[in-house]
Structure 1
Amino acid sequence: MAKWKRPSGYRGIAIRGNTYFARLTVPEDVREVIGKSEFWKTLETDDIHIAQKRAALYILEWKAQIKQARGASSAVKDALQWKRELEAEKRREAPLIAQLQARSEDGQLCAHQVNELGLGSKEHEFSEYLDQVADRKGPDAARTLSNIVYGESLPCTTYLEEWLKSQEGKLIPRTIKQRHTAILRLNDKFPVLPIKKTEVARWIIEQEAEGKAEATIKGLIGSCRSFYDYLMRMGYLDPEGVNPFEGHKYSKKKKASRKEQRQAWEVEDVIKLVAKAKSKSGDANLHDLILLGAYTGARIEEIAQLKVEDVKTKDGITFLSIDESKSNAGLRDIPVHNDILPLVNSLAESSPDGYLLPNEKITSNGERSSAIGKRFGRLKRSLGYDERYVFHSLRKTLSTLLERLGLHHNQAAEITGHEKVGETYGTYSVGLTIVEKAELLNRITYQGLNVEPKEGKRRP
């Protein structure tokens, strides 16, 4: 059950806050087909009697889906087993067939040779099995089975785990999980591949009509494109075919609105955040996170992953070594601003678990910023800031301060971890020295900001 829902004491019903939810665990044998481990749906009521009646209808519907999925799952497994057996037979018989063809004047096998040697017995058996399926379940079921076996069709998630495994070491766990989720959504829409480009185009239009953000849709289509490309390269789908997820257009973006645009924190905003965090008992990590973000412009997960060993010194400059990031440009050394040097040294010296922000829980994706990110969200909302202001906005803040100092884009990019402009600097230059970066970064100031370390315990 999702962490934000808890049992209600009633079968098939969970509760969040005062609202009841219907829930049903999906059996393991059909999770791959259904694409999820649990069904859940808000019942939009705090009355348990109403909730029970509504939940019963959802659960009835879900059980019907599970029953249907079991049939689909069984058929797919059946087809894949036949496919393996037929391919194995072909491999076994290929050398003998080649010899017989070489001896034949026309390069063909005679019917009596095939019969006498028992060649293609599994193929003949499968042909009879198809006739049985057609009689029992209809011609469409037989056609679907035949298409899967002979490689014209492929159940969407057949090679999903293999593809995800090939991504390990190339992508961070969070990205791999996002791709996994994307292909499960693909499976919901298109259980059998291949598909046409026009079908993908209609899918995109459907999502746009639902109001999904363009970036969200592009992320989904990008994951599907990568997966489909893998299937083609490996020969699971026609290698000479066309990837239907390539070259799509998206509807014209709606007009920009200041009401929706992400905003940078101004200096006075940062002062309020730090002061509020300082007054909050028992959460020194949150206070220190904000200071580190304001003075480094680092992403929240980059900060959460910083270890004592990442605090280094070169040419008299203390810096933070970012060794894991979402892009190559993000791999960088950030000088520690003079204002927070005492804080960083204190965190490194007193860490109980090797992290600068200790005792933060690690998610199944290997992330440490999830919990503290939520605490930051509650903090900023308590000060009246809306969804336009997020922790990532501190990157905007630092970038803005650097620009106001007159720094060139490439100078600021080396600190914030963005791509540099131009082939000469972007491709060939090794960049600024740590001393030069420190001189630039120390020119910024948060006038009136109290950077004294917060006293008190850290969250367990």
Structure 2
Amino acid sequence: MADHIFQKAGESTWYVRLDVPKDVRKALGNRRVLIQSLKTGMRSEAMVNRLPILAQWKADIEAARSTRKVHREGWQDKVHAKAAEHRQRADTALVEGIRNPPKGSSSPTIETVTARIAQLAADQAELIAHVRTMESETGITGLADRMEAQFSSEPTNMIDGVQAADEITQHYISELSRVRYELSSSEITEAKTIIINPKAYKPRSPITPSMINEWAISLVSQIASEKTRNSHRARLQRISQYLNTEGAPLTFDTIHQFLTSQSAARQTLANYLWSGRDFWRWAIKYNAQFREHFATQQCPFDGHTLPRAGKAAGESYVAFTRVEVETLYKLAREDGKDDLANLIVIGAYTGARLEEIGRLKSDDSIIDSNGEPIGFRINQAKTSAGVRDVPIHSSLIPLYKKLSSQATANDGHLFKGGKNKYGNRLDGLSKQFGRLKKKANFSDLHVFHSIRKTVTTELHQAGVGLEVLPYLLGHENTSFTLSTYSGGCSFEQKLEAIQKLTYDFDI
């Protein structure tokens, strides 16, 4: 029945049928199969009518699975909390029985003994009634009868009575957990281990994998860069892993301990806090279980003091000088790395990021009325501010035209390259640049992005102001007036600014 339709014996009406997977039968009313009349005797019409019904059923199955997954998630912590609570009560009762026998020389009166017996009987009856109600709701059987038999027998002493009650309660928690969280045989064994010795269990992180996945999906509408979104996810996964490994709660102190355990610079630590705060805001707003647990707690990612001095404060990338950029270009030419030399030239004359140059196509060219290229359009960038028109320096035009004429061999791109999962095509040239600058004895703080700093420095020292620089380089403008009320500088202003760059390149 691959098409999920059939006719009952002696009927002409078609029906749609779908077997209910075993793991969601309970959520769907313990039904093994879903059947509905399609109200037609024509097979072709039945094939059409079945589609929305099947789609709804399958959606219901997926929803049931999702609900079951969320319900089961973190079951160990829930069992541990119940077991730890019980363990504390049982231990307190044992200590009370051992260390604090009734004081005073006078014997209790008949009235006090009668009152105690009556109260005990009432408490026992209330507990048994509660357990019977739980049995009817969960399908667990035998616990209430076992309790009743235990209460009716006289323990030899208080300690034996407490231990017997302890054993019954442990079994009750185990059975309740088995039914409530639909535990497998191996999970039941794990649950019993937690119940018997809750102190040996390390609580799991409240930042669960499914929550991280849901949060990551929400980031798609908030952050354009896939790389940034994946970095957010990776940072939260590391925090959650730390909490799991340490068996630590999610508090300000544990996040401080996590940050201290990281041999990372200030900016890296700040990024962990950035990701944590974003996740926290999302979870408090959209995850009911998380909100119920943490709504009254201050965000543990706020208020941390990060290093501002010394090695721990971190160091930023260092700009090359103009002469150093020229030296790198000459070394690349001497080594026969023409593509790398061309990349350095374009970076030096535009200030564009490596990935922006890698995505550049001849179709992105801005052409004047004479058919000559005067600029190019960056359509995809790290931020929305990075999407911009970039003028071509007059000294760069011959190389730009040459690369554009060869673009068909590179699927329209100015540079040949591969493609990693973030769409960055020039990983190979980036590695070549790393070897080149190492050969020239530059530090780890000198990278290709340092050329972008060179451009910024050269333009600023040549008198280009903040009313042009951010729009030319694709940065957010920090000026309230300009960012709020200005549409940006003109292409002509950017062209005039870019012409202030001068290099000794033998192009």
TM-score range, shorter chain: 0.5 to 0.7
Counterpart check, 1:162 vs 2:155? no
Per the normalisation by structure 1, the TM-score is 0.64
**Would you say 1:79 and 2:72 are equivalent positions?**
yes
- 1:344 alignment counterpart: 400
C-alpha displacement at 1:127, in angstroms?
A: 6.7
What is the rounded CA distance, in whole Å, between the counterparts of 1:172 and 1:116 in structure 2?
Answer: 53
* Structure 1: gaps of 5 or more residues: 1-75, 84-110, 453-460
TM-score, normalised to structure 2's length? 0.58
* Aligned-pair CA distance for 1:154: 3.7
Which amino acid in 2 is paired with 1:303?
Answer: I
Q: Aligned equivalents of 1:422 and 1:385: distance in 2? A: 35
Matches within 5 A, 1:21-420: 79-80=72-73, 120-121=137-138, 128-130=175-177, 136-139=192-195, 154=206, 156-168=208-220, 170-191=223-244, 195-207=250-262, 210=263, 212-235=264-287, 236-238=289-291, 240-242=295-297, 244-255=299-310, 262-281=317-336, 283-313=337-367, 318-351=374-407, 352-420=409-477
Per-residue Cα deviation, 1:395-427 (whole angstroms, up to 9, x for no partner)? 121112112211212212221122224222122
Aligned residues: 338
Q: Deviations over 1:133-172 (max 9, x none)?
A: 6983143777999x99xxxx84622322232233336332
Distance 2:461 2:419 in 1: 37
**2: CA distance, partners of 1:289 / 1:160:** 38
Report Cα offsets for 1:278-320 as digits up to 9, x if no partner.
2233x43211110110000111111112122222235776212
User: Given the superposition, is the C-alpha separation of residues 266 and 190 from structure 1 closer, same or farther in structure 2, using an over 3 Å criterion?
Assistant: same
Q: CA deviation at 1:115?
A: 7.8
Return the alpha-carbon distance in structure 2 between the equivalents of residues 427 and 261 of structure 1. Answer: 29
Which has the larger Rg? 2
Structure-1 separation of matches of 2:196 and 2:361: 59
The structure showing larger relative contact order (alpha-carbon pairs under 8 Å, at least 6 residues apart) is 1
Give the CA deviation at 1:206.
2.9
Match of 2:8 in 1: none
* Aligned counterparts of 1:172 and 1:122: Cα–Cα separation in 2: 50
Partner letter of residue 364 of structure 2?
Answer: D
CA distance in 2, matches of 1:115, 1:375: 74
- Per the alignment, do residues 304 and 217 of structure 1 end up closer, same or farther by CA in structure 2, a change over 3 Å counting? same
The DSSP-based 3-state class of the residue aligned with 1:356 is coil
Looking at structure 2, the residues matched to 435 and 137 of structure 1 have their Cα atoms a distance apart, in angstroms, of 74
Which amino acid is the alignment partner of residue 243 of structure 2?
F
Change (3 A) 1:128 1:256: closer
Alpha-carbon distance between aligned partners in 2 of 1:315 and 1:412, rounded to the nearest angstrom: 26
Distance (Å, rounded) in 2 between the aligned partners of 1:115 and 1:393: 73
One-letter amino acid of the counterpart of residue 257, structure 2 = R
Identity %: 24
8 Å CA contact 2:276, 2:301 repeated in 1: no
Amino acid at match of 2:411: G
Q: 1:135 to 1:307 in 2, by over 3 A?
A: closer
Q: Is the 8 A contact 1:297 1:394 kept in 2?
A: yes
More helix, by proportion? 2
Secondary structure, aligned partner of 1:321: strand
Query: Which residue identity does 2:339 align to in structure 1?
Result: N
The C-alpha deviation readout for 1:40-60, integer Å capped at 9, x for no partner, is xxxxxxxxxxxxxxxxxxxxx
> Conserved in 2, the CA contact under 8 Å of 1:296 and 1:334?
yes
Distance in 1 (CA, whole Å) between partners of 2:419 and 2:197 is 46
**Deviation, structure 1 residue 184:** 2.2
How big is the alpha-carbon RMSD for the aligned residues of Structure 1 and Structure 2? 3.7
| Pairwise CA distance, 1:244 | 3.3
Amino acid at match of 1:287: A
